[in-house]
Chain A
C-alpha cells in the first residue's frame, strides 16, 4: 500500500527555492497527521550539496537523481525519472510547487499514473475520517474556491507560493539519501531545451517583493508608472500592473499581476487605479494587506482592500511619497 509524502524540490539560481522549503513544511504537517514519512526528490546535476538543507527543513529521505542530462528541466526526462522514483518510493501524496516546472510536470505525471493533479492549491488538509487529502484551490479567476478529493493514490497537488510555510531549519534533523540512476536515453527526448533566456528584471522581482505597488487602467499612461516606481524603490518593493495596463503596453507583460500574469503574495499590495476584477484579484488576493487608491468609490477593489483612499491618484501618490520619505528617514 502506498505510504508517505513525497515533495518535488527545485533549485533556483543556485539556491534551494523558498517554495521547496514551504513544501517541506506543508509535507511535514501532513506526515505527522497521517503518521507517515516525508521524503523529497532532488533531480539535477551537481546538486547533492542541497541534500543536508532538504533534511534540515524536514525531509527524512531524499531521493537523489544526479546526471548531466538532468541539469535542465525537460518534460520527458523528468517525467521518466519521476516515474522511476515513484515506483520505488510508492508515496500516497506527491506535492509540487506551482512554478514553471510544477505546472508542466505535475499534470503530465498525474496522467501517466492514471490520475489528475489539483493545481495551484492554497491549502491542503487531511480528512479526519477518511485520512484522504482535501486540497483547496481558487477557481473562476478567484471568485470561488473548490475542494477536491481523489479516487486513487498517489494524490498529487501543486501548491501556490507562500500559501504554506516552511519550518525553521534544524541542522540536527537526520535524513537518509537514496541515489537513483536517471537512466535516460537522450535520443528519445522529443522536446529539447535549446536555449535559456533570462529576462533581466531591474530591482526586486515581483514574486519575491515584500511590497508591491501596482497600477491599472486609471493610471492613464506609461508616465504614471514612473511615480509608482519611486514609491516601490523607497519601500524596496516592485511595481506591478493590471492586464489592461499591460495590454496598453504601459508596462511589460512580465509586470502583470493576475490570473493571466503573476500570482504574488507580498506583505503589502498597493493597488492604484485598479478596479479589482476577479482575474486581477486572483493574482494578489494572497497579499497580507491590500491598499486601494481609486477615484471610483464603487470599485470592487474596495471590497477586497484593508485600507482605501477614494480620490485622484495624481494628488494622492505625491503626498503619500513625501510622507513616506519622512517616515522612512
Chain B
C-alpha cells in the first residue's frame, strides 16, 4: 500500500488567544513569540490513519509539506511517528495561496511521486479552516474522494471508510486510488517513539522547487489564487462579562439563575 499524507505547518492553535495578533496593513497574522508552530492537528490524525493501515497491511508513507521556513523539527514529526519519506515544497512561490493554488501544487507533487493508492489530508487546516484542499487534489487528479473520515480500512483494491454525517456516520467503499480527509473522531495520533525520533533526525527531506514539479510559478501561491483575501480582522467582543458574586458560591449560583430569568434566557 503506497500512501501519501499532506501535512501543513501551522501556528499552534493551542496558543493562548491573547497572544493572537493581526497586522492589518498586510492582512497577516503575527506569529506569537516563543510559541513554536506545529503540524495541523487533523493532519497528524491523517498520518495516524495512514500508520494504522501500514500497521495492518504494510506499505510506505510519503509525507508532503508545503510552505517556507518549515522547521525541520516540526515537519519531521510524521517521520518520527513512523512515516517513511518527507517531501518539502519549500519555496516563496508556494506560499500565501488559497485552496486552489495549494491543492494544485500538492497535486502536481503527488503526480511526480507517481505511485500511490491512498492520499490522506486532514479535514481542514487549523489556520484557514477551509477544508477544501483534499477535495481539490482529488478533482485535479480525477480521483474519488471521501471526506471527514473517522475510520479507514484498506481492502483489496478499495478502502472502506466511515464518514461522519449529521446524525451518525455512513460507510463508503471507494475504489483506489482515492483521496481521504480525516477528522478528529479517528482518535488521537500516536506519539513519536525514541527510535522514530532518532531515525527522523538522520533522514533528509527531498526539497522540490516549482521547476521540480514542472509548474509555472504564476499558478502557485499568491499568484495562483482564485479568491482574494479582502480583509482579515479580529472580531470585536461587544459583550462585557458581568461577574455575578455572592457571599457563598451557592448564593452566586442563585443570583445567576435569577439573572438569567430576568434577561429572559430561561
- Chain A interface (Cβ within 8 Å of chain B)? 12-13, 72, 75-76, 99-100, 103-104, 107-108, 110-112, 114-120, 134, 137-141, 143-152, 190-199, 201, 205, 207, 235, 243, 247, 253, 256, 259-261, 267-268, 276-279, 281-282, 288-292, 297, 300, 302-312, 315-320, 323-324, 327-328
Contacts and interface: CB of A to CB of B under 8 A. Distances in A.
Contact of B20 (A140, A243, A267): A140
A58 B131 CA distance: 30
Nearest to B130: A119
Given A191-B146, A196-B170, A140 B129 contact: yes
Given A141-B13, A199-B168, A76 B20 contact: no
A72 B172 CA distance: 12
A152 B173 CA distance: 35
B99 interface: yes
Contacts of B194: none
Contacts of A201: 167
Nearest to A327: B261
Given A194-B171, A197-B168, A302-B241, A76 B227 contact: no
A138 B130 CA distance: 9
Overall SS of chain A's interface: mixed
A260 B253 contact: no
A319 B249 contact: yes
B233 A260 contact: no
B129 A119 contact: yes
Contacts of B254: 319-320, 323
Nearest to B243: A308
Contact of B184 (A75, A115, A199, A260): A260
Contact of A327 (B167, B234, B257): B257
B249 A312 contact: yes
Given A268-B266, A311-B249, A191 B129 contact: no
Given A190-B174, A192-B172, A197-B169, A316 B253 contact: yes
Contacts of B244: 307-309
Given A152-B226, A309-B253, A320-B257, A143 B146 contact: no
B144 A151 contact: no
B227 A120 contact: no
B227 A115 contact: yes
B241 A308 contact: yes
B144 A191 contact: yes
B41 interface: yes
Interface stretch (B1-9, B48-56, B132-140, B211-219): B132-140
Contacts of A259: 13, 126, 129
